[in-house]
Structure 1
Amino acid sequence: MRIAVVGPMHPYRGGIAHFTEMTVQGLDERGHEMRPVSFARQYPEFLFPGKTQFEPDDEAPAIVRGAPRLLDPLNPLSWLRTAWQLREQRPEAVIFQYWMPFFAPAYGTVARILRWAGIPSLAVVHNALPHERHLGDAWLSRFFLAACEGHVVMSDAVANNLQSLRRPDAAFRRIEHPVYERFGEPVPRAKARAALDLPEDAPVMLFFGFVREYKGLHVLLKALPDVLEALPDPHLVVAGEPYDDPARYRRLIREHGLDAHVHWYDDYVPSGEVPTYFCAADLVVQPYVSATQSGVAQIATHFERPMVVTDVGGLAETIPHEEAGFVVPAEDPEALASAIIRFFQEGWAGRLAEGVRERKHAQQPARLLEAIEELLPGSTE
């Protein structure tokens, strides 16, 4: 079929852009005629909390490199131009990547114009409602999501939020979040640790991704003193750009005497460097205060790294307790420390790694592509 996909793509950075590229490339490889459409502007600079919205490297599938950059969420004229150009291409369906109400007015307008032209819209819904809620979020999300003929979600938490925001007759698929394969093969642990100047035999934990209140780095830092008392020379690698004030985290590091044990690489990690961080770690820790799902968990799964996650959103669905990792209560430093200590002292690495490998097999990108195909017009599913 001729399919358009709307969402951020190269040169935009981050997990949603990577997911959009994976979707376009995967459907192309399955024989569909793809029409990717990216953003002319994703966020205005004053609203973006990071240093840059763009990838520092040039690693992206060839099919998305020339994608027209049309949609500006703050420019209604661009919404009309995008809808017009999509209508002129006559796709049999348009797939939107949705994760934030900020994009709902633009998306909802385009989807409604396409609907009037007889072109159905589908949504891959990463978040039906945002982690940090604001007045009007539900109304905005409903404006877009109710204009779609079908939805794909990747956690029960998102599915539950979506129920009141979509049309009752809209088609629906719930799948496991696919692993990210774009980051390539693992590198030897010794090489990865040498690159990060880490001891070869020390316990190493990884906190990966941008740093924001709901990601819970502050909870992990409060848990580390108990870990230091129980384990010989543990190290925490924090690989991520701060999206809120880094001073509070630096203060916790100083107050708890963690300077020699915390290594913070406070910048966006380019795709080519991602394997180094995950392969240097024994354990990936996600101490989220709130969540729906996590792309970081899918990168960890790709590199077959066990995880400790908190029981929020869909994280426990992704990482079954004592199968692929440990699940602990949110905002509980003592429980988090206990799980980390247990992982290293009781020798769980091998058992949990095997469980992660089983999850990896179940979370291949093909299921996402199949779910989309099942929602396409004329599908017999």
Structure 2
Amino acid sequence: MRPFVLIGPSHPFRGGVAHHTTLLYRHLAARHPVTFYTFRRQYPAWLFPGRSDRDPSAEPLREPGVEAVLDSLDPRTWVDVYRRIRRARPTLVIVPWWTSFWTPHVWGLAMLLRRLPETRTLAICHNVVDHEARPWSRACARLALARADHCLVHSAEDAARLRALVPTARITVGFHPRYEFARAGLVEPAEARARLGLSGETILFFGFVRPYKGLVHLLEAMPRIRAERPVTLLVVGEFWDGTARFDARVRALGLEQAVRVVDRYVPNEEVGLYFAAADLVVLPYVAGTASGVVQLAYGLDRPVVATRVGALAEVVEDGVTGFLVSPGRPEELARAVLRFFAEGRAAEFAANIRRYRARYSWERLVDLIDVIAAGAPAPAVGP
């Protein structure tokens, strides 16, 4: 059996793409011989907007046999990986795509791989275009993704976006699998709230705080929510632009006692605690494609209120696993949160989420990749 090659971030680097790529390797390797090349340096320090790109987890997601050989600033390391691939003659080379920073790397590697007709290249597109797009983002995506033999996207919206950029692209609409790595940290809600100094009904915003995630709209919804129920908003995630403006708005709205902020990257072993404390996870995004936060919530049996953007509208089933609202509408967010508590939908939604587990399994994603590797027309499965 000819091997697969996977290229992308993994431990010691942090974040959703590193988690996704590492778990994909784990599940691919259960079925195929796989070589996984990861980074010894990912982003240059001056470019990374967060405090660090290293994972502080005491229990990180890591797999044996991963080869840390790539340096984003040293093209010789990418040529070296191409030479290794040429010797291995793999069936498929899988490369994640999520930001235009990687354009020269993905484009250069894909061009070299064109010399190996027996090897196909699959780009897994977490975003076709950067979340906060720059003037050059679309051109970079077109340049890099046009060289891939096949592109796997997480939503029909991103498939349309890619088709507009690269009309000849072979595109499959897949899905983002669920995350269950934090289940070991789950405790009873009352215990979680006691450990965090919380009480009563709690909603959670989780993940890096960036403009496209629309946290400001959820904050603006809180006075309307608090007028009817004593709900606490728990914001857990690193603010890439600092908290000054957010804190000022909290004070202006008189929400100092209603909003709790944990402004840091949360290590894996603590994730379950924050989700256990929450009745509901809220994603007030104003733009986006897929979200690992939804699949983290699903992996921890937590219902979701989300906006109708990108894959969120395809993954959250309105009235079944959560509620969907229009983006940028605080009043709609407030009504959805109040409805969730007033109707007591937590147990029903959680049961539905558990029933949908197989729909978002890693095994099902590997099935889809196998079809692509075989060169057969891949179905647009979606969630």
User: TM-score if structure 1 supplies the norm length?
Assistant: 0.93
Q: CA deviation at 1:11?
A: 0.7
Q: Structure 2: how far apart are the matches of 1:71 and 1:369? A: 25
Q: Structure 2: how far apart are the matches of 1:327 and 1:378? A: 37
Q: Structure 2: how far apart are the matches of 1:184 and 1:332? A: 32
Determine helix, strand or coil for the equivalent of 1:331: coil
Q: Kindly tell me: are residues 264 and 169 of structure 1, through their superposed partners in 2, closer, same or farther at Cα, counting changes over 3 Å?
A: closer
Per the alignment, residue 363 of structure 1 pairs with 360
Q: Structure 1: how far apart are the matches of 2:310 and 2:288? A: 5
Aligned residues: 375
Q: Does 1:266 align with 2:267?
A: no
CA contact (8 A) 1:3 1:92 kept: yes
Q: CA deviation at 1:120?
A: 1.9
Per the alignment, residue 301 of structure 1 pairs with 298
Per the alignment, residue 174 of structure 2 pairs with 175
Q: Does 1:40 align with 2:37?
A: no
CA contact (8 A) 1:9 1:21 kept: yes
- How do 1:74-223 residues align onto structure 2 when only pairs under 5 Å count? 74-118=73-117, 119-166=119-166, 168=168, 170=170, 172-185=171-184, 186-199=186-199, 202-223=200-221
Q: Which amino acid aligns with 2:204?
A: L
CA contact (8 A) 2:182 2:300 kept: no
Q: Which amino acid aligns with 2:122?
A: L
Q: Kindly tell me: are residues 184 and 352 of structure 1, through their superposed partners in 2, closer, same or farther at Cα, counting changes over 3 Å?
A: closer
Question: Residue deviations 1:150-179, cap 9 Å, x none?
Answer: 122221121111213446263x32223210
Q: Does 1:18 align with 2:19?
A: yes
Q: Which amino acid aligns with 2:13?
A: Y
Q: 2:348 aligns with which of 348, 351, 368?
A: 351
CA RMSD of aligned residues (A): 1.8
Determine helix, strand or coil for the equivalent of 1:96: strand
CA contact (8 A) 1:73 1:102 kept: no
Per the alignment, residue 228 of structure 1 pairs with 226
User: TM-score if structure 2 supplies the norm length?
Assistant: 0.93
Q: Kindly tell me: are residues 109 and 353 of structure 1, through their superposed partners in 2, closer, same or farther at Cα, counting changes over 3 Å?
A: same
Q: 1:338 aligns with which of 322, 335, 338?
A: 335
* Structure 1: 4+ residue segments shifted above 4 A: 378-381
Q: CA deviation at 1:380?
A: 8.9
Determine helix, strand or coil for the equivalent of 1:323: coil
CA contact (8 A) 1:25 1:61 kept: no
Q: Kindly tell me: are residues 329 and 71 of structure 1, through their superposed partners in 2, closer, same or farther at Cα, counting changes over 3 Å?
A: same
Gaps in structure 2 of 5+ consecutive residues: 379-383
Question: Residue deviations 1:203-260, cap 9 Å, x none?
Answer: 10000001111111111111111111100x2111111000123111111111111111
CA contact (8 A) 1:11 1:58 kept: no
Q: Tell me the percent identity.
A: 38
Q: Structure 2: how far apart are the matches of 1:78 and 1:16? A: 21
Per the alignment, residue 381 of structure 2 pairs with none
Moved more, 369-378 or 92-101: 369-378
Q: Does 1:372 align with 2:369?
A: yes
Q: Kindly tell me: are residues 270 and 197 of structure 1, through their superposed partners in 2, closer, same or farther at Cα, counting changes over 3 Å?
A: same
Q: Does 1:50 align with 2:47?
A: no
Q: Structure 1: how far apart are the matches of 2:255 and 2:134? A: 35
Q: Which amino acid aligns with 1:275?
A: G
Per the alignment, residue 250 of structure 1 pairs with 247
Q: Does 1:281 align with 2:252?
A: no
Gaps in structure 1 of 5+ consecutive residues: none
Q: CA deviation at 1:62?
A: 5.3
Q: Structure 2: how far apart are the matches of 1:161 and 1:73? A: 27
Per the alignment, residue 319 of structure 1 pairs with 316
CA contact (8 A) 1:184 1:275 kept: yes
